[in-house]
A and B are shown apart, each in its own frame.
Chain A
Amino acid sequence: MEHEVVTLGAQPTRRSMAPGGDAARRRMVESLTEHVLEWVIRLCGISAILFVFGIFFFVLREGVGLLFGDFSLWKFLSSTEWYPTSRSNVRYGVLSLIVGTLSVTTTAMLIAVPFGLGAAIFVSEFCDKRAKEGLKIVIELLAAIPSVVWGFIGISVMNPLIQTVFHVPVGLNVLNGALLLALMSVPIMVSIGEDALKAVPDSFREAAVALGATRWQVIYRVLVPAAKNGLLAAVLLGVGRAVGETMAVLMATGHAVNIPHSVFDPVRTLTATIAAELGEASVGSPHYQVLFLIGILLFSITFAVNLTADLIVKGVRRK
């Protein structure tokens, strides 16, 4: 015991004069943990890249084999005939599915963009601090609702509502899916859009106000042009969310392979097709491979949208 006390007391001087056995060992352990930690953190950073490429590689491997046979990529993209389980004449045409995804996404954006950007402007420019925090929490709660729950709402609330309001026989259609997608992508637009508006220096607002601009003039003559890129990125991220969404649209759009002629027609999307059919396609079969090909198509679309949004945001920072 006494020896220990002496060592402890003497340590500071000993360490500063010449490294003894204890201190040297501790330093070695410290530098070792330092190295290990550094590598763990580095691994965490790299893992995101590894996962993205891993997933892309996996999806590609499952689907790409098809392209080397007598499969026609042009037919795949341009035909509206999707009969993957026909016994006599199997046809894999995804045009209706692409049009389905595009129609639901476009309609959703027509609803969500004015709504989301309007909410972003309201939260950033019109709210006092407390209302702002409250609103942001509620809007972000929207993002926390699981998509299958949105699907329930689509079937049990929107469906009869659309039937009675618009006097159509079926309420599971483009409009239903688009309304759900709009509500789901609004939170992203609001939080990114609000960030973009918040980043506009207050001196711009002050300059315009001091010249006699009204609140509305400050918004559309100063803030929107100044935050243009950030707002565009907000919209694109909302689009990315809408394109990739599966469960809610699967439940709400009617799931019929069909080129829609109005928002009251049922459609089927690329995502819903994969979700509904992958479980029934036997592994390695052409049907299975085609579904993976659809996956690659989706992946490319969302990748392009996200990349564009990213480049736009970077563009903001460079200026």
Chain B
Amino acid sequence: MTSAALRTEADPGIVTRALNLWYADFQALKGIDLDIKRGEITSLIGPSGCGKTTLLRCFNRVNERYGYVRTTGEIKILGKNIYDPDVSLIELRKSVGMVFQRPNPLPISIYENIVFGMRIHHDRRQLSKSQLDAAVELALTEVGLWNELKDRLEQRATGLQLEQQQKLCIARLLPVKPEIILMDEPCSALDVEGTRAIEELMWALRGRYTIVIVTHNMAQARRASDECIFMLMGELVEHRSTAELFLNPANPKTAEYIEGRYG
């Protein structure tokens, strides 16, 4: 991992240029140009169907699982266009991790969930037991689950509380050493306490990882992000620092949305 000190404002995490995306005939993203800063938390807000989740799912190209998706334009992550033909989806997804709306730990043990990424990217012989153990401890410590779970690592991860499941889903990204973490409404299945815990965790991870979070909850965007992007009907309307966007939005549509006139 490169150290946080090397990251400057001039060194963007994600850059998109003229990004268009169609689901069959429906155009879901229209000419998106944006620069997401490295090491910061950027939130994507906008009403349902505005394309924010679609945009997020472009960054690790996970939306290509559906055959009818077509994309034009470019997305540069860490200086490399991810739509170049020589890009390996596996390498891309190693450096861009994703957390989903509903916590989705795999139906295996807590331990195996965390080392899953290591197991699929390394030969069995390359991984020693002590290496795996160390990775599990480090990842769980980072998300603040180690003390709660260290004595029951062999239990099924699907039996944990939702908040723990979501933290585990974040923890399992860390051993793969991502640069960017995408979060698709990570708190929508959680209660107030769980939401607070995940937001605190995001702040703790901020700096070492570039975090992009989609949220329906404007208060959450305001609390938990450095920059905020407002989208509408597949277009990027406004991208500014969160404080500015909520205090004096430049675009009247943004103002109306954050006042709750529609959404």
Complex Cα distance, B93 from A301, in Å, reads: 50
Which of A207, A212, A217 lies in contact with B104, CB distance below 8 A?
A207
Interface size class of A (residues with CB under 8 A): 10 to 19
B102 touches A212 (CB 8 A): no
Residues of B within 8 A of A35 (CB): none
> Which chain A residues numbered 205 to 261 have a C-beta less than 8 Å away from chain B?
205-214, 217, 221-222, 225-226
> Which chain B residues numbered 97 to 153 have a C-beta less than 8 Å away from chain A?
97-98, 100, 102, 104-108, 116-117, 119-121
Complex Cα distance, B39 from A95, in Å, reads: 74
Contact with A along B79-106 (1 / 0, CB 8 A): 0000000000111111001101010111
CB distance from A223 to the nearest CB of B (A): 10
A211 touches B67 (CB 8 A): no
Which of B67, B89, B121, B169 lies in contact with A207, CB distance below 8 A?
B169
B91 closest partner in A (C-beta):
A212
B120 touches A211 (CB 8 A): yes
CB distance from A89 to the nearest CB of B (A): 60
Residues of B within 8 A of A206 (CB): 62, 65, 100, 104
Q: Which of A128, A201, A204 has the most CB of B within 10 A?
A: A204
- Residues of B within 8 A of A (CB-CB), count: 28
Interface presence of A262 (CB below 8 A): no
Residues of B within 8 A of A226 (CB): 106-107
Q: Which of B91, B93, B105, B173 has the most CB of A within 10 A?
A: B93
CB distance from A73 to the nearest CB of B (A): 45
Residues of A within 8 A of B236 (CB): none
> Which chain B residues numbered 169 to 184 have a C-beta less than 8 Å away from chain A?
169, 172-173, 176
A208 touches B116 (CB 8 A): yes
CB distance from A232 to the nearest CB of B (A): 15
Residues of A within 8 A of B60 (CB): 210
A212 touches B117 (CB 8 A): yes
Interface presence of A285 (CB below 8 A): no
Interface presence of A203 (CB below 8 A): yes
Complex Cα distance, B178 from A211, in Å, reads: 10
Complex Cα distance, B115 from A139, in Å, reads: 38
Residues of B bordering A, CB below 8 Å: 60, 62, 65, 67, 89-94, 97-98, 100, 102, 104-108, 116-117, 119-121, 169, 172-173, 176
Residues of A bordering B, CB below 8 Å: 128, 201, 203-214, 217, 221-222, 225-226
| With A211-B173, A212-B117 already in contact, 4 other A-B pairs whose C-beta atoms are closer than 8 Å | A201-B104, A204-B106, A204-B107, A207-B169
Closest 10 CB pairs of A and B: A212-B93, A203-B104, A210-B98, A212-B90, A207-B104, A211-B117, A212-B94, A213-B120, A217-B120, A226-B107
